[in-house]
Structure formats: structure tokens, C-alpha cells
Structure 1
Amino acid sequence: MYPKSAIKGRGAQLNVPNRFFELSHEMLDDFLEYCAQEGEEADKNKTLYLPVFPKTIVNKVESPDVGMMYSMNPYQGCEHGCIYCYARNSHEFWGYSAGLDFERRILVKKDAPKLLEELLKKKSWKAHPIVLSGNTDCYQPAEQQFKITRECLKVFLKYKHPVAIITKNTLILRDLDVLKQLGKDNLIGVNVSITSLSEDIRRILEPRTATIKKRLESVRVLSENAIPVNVMIAPIIPSINSHEILPLAKIVSEHGALSIGHTIIRLNGAIGEIFTNWIKTTMPDRAEKVLHQIEDCHGGNLNDSRFGTRMRGEGKIAHQINETIALAKRMYFNNKVIPKLNTSFHAQYKTGQYKLF
């Protein structure tokens, strides 16, 4: 549980300097003391939605460790505030910090549906699953207001193009009507992220996400409506959620998930400092143990950037985690298969018109 001095409802507890900037902003103790004496808030902790206008919306993914070739992100930054999120580093490219800014400065791409449609209509474009979102959650709180993800799903449906979704927010069920239509032609796959079965852990690890109960309900509802669901048990953090692999796998299988995936935490870029500060604030009794075990998974470092090993780790602890995942798959998903998304229809729907023959 966070101490009273912590910033409530946020994962990160500080703004780390942007590596691309020479100057940084720091809140000094004398200013904080002045605010306390005057009864003023030093930090209002508000979320700002900032419009941005990129020229393209679909990105080609170069990493061989990620099971996607193309992704698109209607939003940059994510109010969910997951402390471990690898996407935090991308916020620095937009001129912000990977810490609190990532959770409180949300960049909104209102033109995303239009840009997507322009791409799918191109004669040169050949259908390949596009993932919503490869970086930040397309169903984060901003989606309630802007509905960009829903409009993008309508574009995918119009052009009969396959799409996959990664989310940990039950707002996805709002769009069940569109998802069911995509599902009729095997054009949709959903990845639901469930990191723990403990609400206490969820609240500090992923402060503004849906509860575990609601996420499990999402898995059940999607599965009952013939929408294939993979559950991401990711990241696995030694001594925080590593003991939950088997019970988690069992319960998501019972709720209808067809498969599970996983990664082992790695604290790349600015995330190392952010996570270290967070765990010493929230779990001081086990902070050093957890940090040392993460290092054990990455050759003595908090991060390993090598393709092939960075997501799965190496060493005894990583081996034990990976073997436990393999056991979970054999025990609970032995006779289940995730269908491959259909890419055969799109060429006939380049104009966005449905054909009778």
C-alpha cells in the first residue's frame, strides 16, 4: 500500500529527466514546504488530453520478439499507469517524461480512423493483421470520451481487414456489436492482459486498470461470443506475481481463453529508475530481493536488449518461470487452438463496398 505522501492513483511517483533534453524540471523541497504552509496543492495530478496530428497511423514492427508485424496506437501515453510498461520510453520521443507525464499527458490521434482508411484503400496494401495497440492501451480511459478505437474497428469491418486487440480494460465490451461482426469472418482476435489474481497487487502495479474480476468477465463474455481470446500473463515479476502462473492459467482457461502468453519483466531505458523508485516506495520490505531477482534473469542487469532473450530472460529464475508456463499450457490449454486471422477477404473490399458475388 502506498504511504500517505505518495501520489494517489498513479503508478510512477516521479518524472524522470527526458534523455533527449539538456534541461529538466525539478520540484524542490522548499517549494513543497511553501505549498504545505499555504494549504496549496503542489501538484494537481490532473490528466490532460492533447491532440496530435500524425501523417500516418500504422507502424511496421521490426522486433522479432513480438508476435505482430503491424500496429497502430490511437493514443500515446496511458492513464492506466502500469509501473512496468515498456511503452513509457516512447513518451520521450514526444518531448515528455516516461514517468508521471506518461500517465497524465495523453496524446490523442483523432484522425486515426481516417488515416487507417486511407491505408487500407491503397492498391499496394496487402492484408496482414494490424494490432490495436502495440504500444499503449487502445481502451484506456480516454477512449470513453473520444471513441477512436470504436471508429477504427468500424473501418476494419468495412474493409474486411483482420485486426487484433491488446487491452486490460473492460471497455472493450462496449464494442461487442462490432467485434461479433468481425468475428463472423474470423477477422478479430483479442489479447487480455491479466497480471495477477490479487487486487492488492493490481491496485499498486496497475492503478487505473479494470479489476481482475471484471477482466475475467471480459474473457468469458468475449469467448461466449465466439471471439478468440489469448490471455497475456505479462510481465511476470519474480517474487511479485511469479507464484501465480498456474492458478492464473487455470482460471482464464475456465473462463474460455484459448491460450496464454507471457514475458519476463525487463526494465529498459528510463523504466529502471521509475520501477526502482516505485518498489522502494510501495514494497520496501522486498524491494532489494525483487530487483536482484530481475537482475538474475538478465545477466546481472535490470534490462537485456538482445533479441531472442530479452522477453524470456535467462538463468535459473527465468528458466523456472518459463518451465512453469510450459507446464500451464500442457495442463490447461492442451486441446485449445487460437485460429489464424483471415486475410483473404480484404482484396475484394478495397473500395469499402460489400460484394454480392
Structure 2
Amino acid sequence: MFIMRKETALRPELRVKARGALDNATGRFEREHRIAEDDGWDLPEDERLLRTEVRLEAPRTAISYNRSPDLPFDRSVNPYRGCEHGCVYCFARPTHAWLNLSPGLDFETRLIARPGIGAVLAQEIGRRSYKVAPIAIGTNTDPYQPCEADHRVMREVLQVLHDWNHPVAITTKGALVERDIDLIAPMAAAGLVRVGISVTTLDAGLSRAMEPRCPSPQRRLQVIRRLSDVGVPVRVMIAPVIPGLTDHELEPILAAARAAGAVAASWIMLRLPLEVAPMMKDWLETRLPGRAAKVMARIREVHGGRDYDPEWGRRMRGEGLWSDLIAQRFDKACTREGLTIRQPPLRTDLFARPVQAGDQLSLF
């Protein structure tokens, strides 16, 4: 038996398989921190596997607005809170603390789905005061994470955007995006959608370790090919670039993505806000002990001596010698691969309320 005391640790009978975080550190807003500690009663505990739990939330709003000057969008929709992909480096992990949950294992095992968000979204974009602009999906947690197969919340959102001819930019690592080609392809033909596929590394073993429930790198390249074949413009997103660990793969990733049909590319420097920095550090020391010190040193070099610099204009790219070299290599590789052609903006002029039963049809 075990009692709970200061700090957080996993109970010894809990078996963790294919997860990114190594612990379940208590969120920063909690008053108490707990660990499992032997209470002296030598009673065996049954071993159990840590499984994914999905709770449902009735959404009151759908669109989240931001005023960040270094983001190319001002609104987004999040079908899920938390992400089963379990990427250890995910900058969105600290958002789970707002739910009184851990940014660690809770973030990837205690998820919240938001069914009904499609109807809420339709109400919001249907208001007379609404000004149409592209909606970004997948900028916080992945809309095509594994639980989407059962809950279909992203499908619900996409159906509304399709019916209203609303522009959307989708970012994902998930192969489940192929399921929605029937909606995405006609939107692409009308200039209403772009898809970004995130490829962090081509090393399947490294990917499996730090992105444990994501499709393999080769599978993601297949997704790029499948979408490109039906006319969907795809951007390969090297996000994040991890200096000292994956930055040497810039050129091979861009070449492989271009060969698969990608028409554009972008990159983002590793971001380690709040609880993510110690989590990433622990992961490196456990999984890659021989490289941990080098990687963390390089991360601090690009963030002004800190694990993370949150300042706008620097948080996405970093600064200094290594950041400049990565940017120069990326630009040269994009030029070489033909990934510098500017894509036209997503159309907003087609936006219109879908025809409802009983509506009088226009004569023109």
C-alpha cells in the first residue's frame, strides 16, 4: 500500500507503455504535490497498464482568438484538450495545468473531447458581426490524434467549415487526416484549405521514443503524397527543430517531403515553456544520456542562455549563431528543392451561409 506525500512520482505497480513523459509532475497551480511512498504495509499491488481516458466536455465557445504578432493567424479551434501522441517536447503541455491536471502523463492519457463544437462553431461564424478569416486547427493539440477515430470531433468541425466555404489551415502529424479527403479535396480545389504535416525527424527509432503514438516519419511522408495526389497543397513543417539532436536532418527532411509532393515548408525552433523544460531535460538524461548535456547547452545558446525565451519574435526562431545557421541552411535547402514558391492566400470571398431546408433560392 502507498500513501501520498510531497512531489510527484509514478506508483510502482503502474506500467507505462509508449508514452512520452517519464513522470506526472503536479501542475503549477496545485497547492499540494504528491508522490507514492511505501507506508510499511507489505501488501502486493496488482500491476496495471496506464491507459488513455477520454472525458467529454460540452463546449460553450468554439473559436479562440489571439493577438500574437508572430503568428500568421488570429483565430483557432481546438477539438481536443490534451494529446495522445505524447510528444515529449510539446509546448502545449502546460495548458493541462489549467484543468488541474499534470502536463506530464496526464496530458497524454487524460484527454478531453469536445463533441458538439461543430454546432457552436456554426453559431459563431453565422453571426452578422463575424468577419471571415482563416481558422487554424492543430496549433495547440493535434486534431487527428488517435481518439479522433472514435469521437470524430475534427470531422464535425471540418464539415461545418466545408458547408460554409470557410478557409482553414490544418496542422497535424496524424494519418487520420486521409479519412477526411472527401471534404478537404473539394475545399482545396476552391482555395479554401491548406494542410501542414509536421515531420520532426526521419529516424524512426528517435521518433518512436520522443513521439511515441505518432505515425512513423515514413507514414507521414505517405500522407503528404496522398494529399498532394488529390490536389491538396501541403506544407512540410519541421517543428520543432531540436538543436544538437535533429537539426542535422533539415536537408533530408525537405528533400523527402518535396519528393512526396510538398509545395511549401516552414520550421520552428524547439520551445520549452514552463513544465516542458524539466520534462525534456529528464527525457534526454534518461533516453539519450550521452547527448543530454550537449542538446541542453545548444538549446540554451539559441534562447539567450535560458531553457526558453518567451519573447515575441524570438520564441519561434531563437537567436544567435546556431539559430542563424539553421535559418540559412533551411533557406538554401528550400531554394534547392523548389519550396520557395509563394502560395496564394486562402479565399474568403466564397464564405456564405449554407442553404437550409425551407430557404428561398436565389434567382441568380
- For the aligned pair, the TM-score class normalised by the smaller chain equals over 0.9
Q: Relative to 1, partners in 2 of residues 1:280 and 1:126: Cα closer, same or farther, differing over 3 Å?
A: same
CA distance, structure 2, for counterparts of residue 330 and residue 33 of structure 1: 66
Structure 2 residue 299 is matched with structure 1 residue 294: yes
Task: Map Cα deviations across residues 33-84 of structure 1 (whole Å, 9 max, x no partner).
Answer: 95xx72622x631111011123101101222222221111000000000011
> Identity across aligned pairs (percent)?
34
Structure 2 residue 199 is matched with structure 1 residue 194: yes
Q: Which residue of 2 aligns with 1:7?
A: 16
TM-score normalized by structure 2? 0.91
Contact 1:49 1:106 in 2 (8 A): yes
CA distance, structure 1, for counterparts of residue 273 and residue 78 of structure 2: 20
Q: Which has the higher contact order (CA 8 A, sep 6+)?
A: 1
Q: Which residue of 2 aligns with 1:349?
A: 353
Q: Which residue of 2 aligns with 1:270?
A: 275
CA distance, structure 2, for counterparts of residue 326 and residue 296 of structure 1: 21
TM-score normalized by structure 1? 0.93
CA distance, structure 2, for counterparts of residue 229 and residue 76 of structure 1: 25
CA distance, structure 1, for counterparts of residue 303 and residue 289 of structure 2: 22
Structure 2 residue 86 is matched with structure 1 residue 81: yes
CA distance, structure 1, for counterparts of residue 188 and residue 264 of structure 2: 17
Q: Which residue of 2 aligns with 1:38?
A: 44
Structure 2 residue 59 is matched with structure 1 residue 54: yes
Contact 1:53 1:111 in 2 (8 A): yes
Q: Relative to 1, partners in 2 of residues 1:53 and 1:238: Cα closer, same or farther, differing over 3 Å?
A: same
Contact 1:258 1:337 in 2 (8 A): no
RMSD: 2.0
CA distance, structure 2, for counterparts of residue 127 and residue 68 of structure 1: 12
Structure 1 residue 283 displacement after superposition:
0.4
Task: Map Cα deviations across residues 208-236 of structure 1 (whole Å, 9 max, x no partner).
Answer: 00111111011011111111111110111
* Bigger share in helix: 1
Structure 1 residue 339 displacement after superposition:
2.8
Q: Which residue of 2 aligns with 1:21?
A: 30
Structure 1 residue 184 displacement after superposition:
2.3
Gaps of 5+ in 1: none
CA distance, structure 2, for counterparts of residue 33 and residue 335 of structure 1: 65
Task: Map Cα deviations across residues 304-355 of structure 1 (whole Å, 9 max, x no partner).
Answer: 0111011111121111111111111211125633231110011x33666786
CA distance, structure 2, for counterparts of residue 260 and residue 356 of structure 1: 44
CA distance, structure 1, for counterparts of residue 185 and residue 214 of structure 2: 24
Q: Which residue of 1 aligns with 2:285?
A: 280
Structure 2 residue 164 is matched with structure 1 residue 159: yes
1:221-260 aligned within 5 A: 221-260=226-265
Gaps of 5+ in 2: 1-13
Of stretches 292-301 and 324-333 in structure 1, the one that deviates more from structure 2 is 324-333
Q: Which residue of 2 aligns with 1:211?
A: 216
